[in-house]
Amino acid sequence: MRVPCDREGDRFMNNKSRFLFLTVLITIAIVACNQTTKIPVKAALVYKMGGAQPVTRTKLYLLKEEAKKAENASLFTSPAIAQALEQGEEYAGIHEDRIKDYIVATTTTDFEGNAEFKDIPPGKYYIAGYTRTRSQYGYVVWKLEVNAKNGMETIFLDQNNALDTDN
């Protein structure tokens, strides 16, 4: 024979179990939504005499997808780069003040051309970068679309996927 308080106790336990179950589900959903990834990068240039030379100590930018729409804002202008180099400007290329609204993260390549963007939410981005080459007014500009996701392979930056090059 069941006593009325047992039924209430059963009901309480059922509600408590439901509450714990929902709490666990919400926690899992929050953790899943907050997942981040890393984007490993290797930058190198291949010169006519052969061999890949690492692009060292070069600042790279990870830009929001919206940066594509801002092309007309002259974020990356080849004539401006070439003109600045001819006038002797040491840093011509990516004008950080023009892209500040699009920057998600920055990183700098090491002495082997390796870099990594860390704690990046999955999604579409652009990797942007600029480096001088061996020739007097030579340069390479990158603006490469990437789709950040878990377990990413290394992204290789070279003259073959450059936005513009004059080496």
- Residues 18-75 pLDDT 10s: 555 555 445 444 445 558 899 999 999 988 777 789 999 999 999 998 877 665 445 5
Is residue 119 within 8 A of residue 38, CB to CB? The reply is: yes
Is residue 128 within 8 A of residue 143, CB to CB? The reply is: yes
Is residue 44 within 8 A of residue 111, CB to CB? The reply is: no
Is residue 55 within 8 A of residue 43, CB to CB? The reply is: yes
d(C-alpha 102, C-alpha 98), whole Å: 9
- Phi, psi of 21, deg, nearest 5: -60, -45
The reported pLDDT for the residue numbered 86 is 60
Q: Which of 79, 138, 71 is nearest to 99 (CA)?
A: 71
- Residues 7-34 pLDDT 10s: 555 554 456 555 555 554 454 444 455 5
* SS3 of residue 118 by DSSP: strand
Q: Which fold has domain 36-166?
A: Immunoglobulin-like (2.60.40)
Is residue 163 within 8 A of residue 93, CB to CB? The reply is: no
* Domains of the chain by residue range: 1-34, 36-166
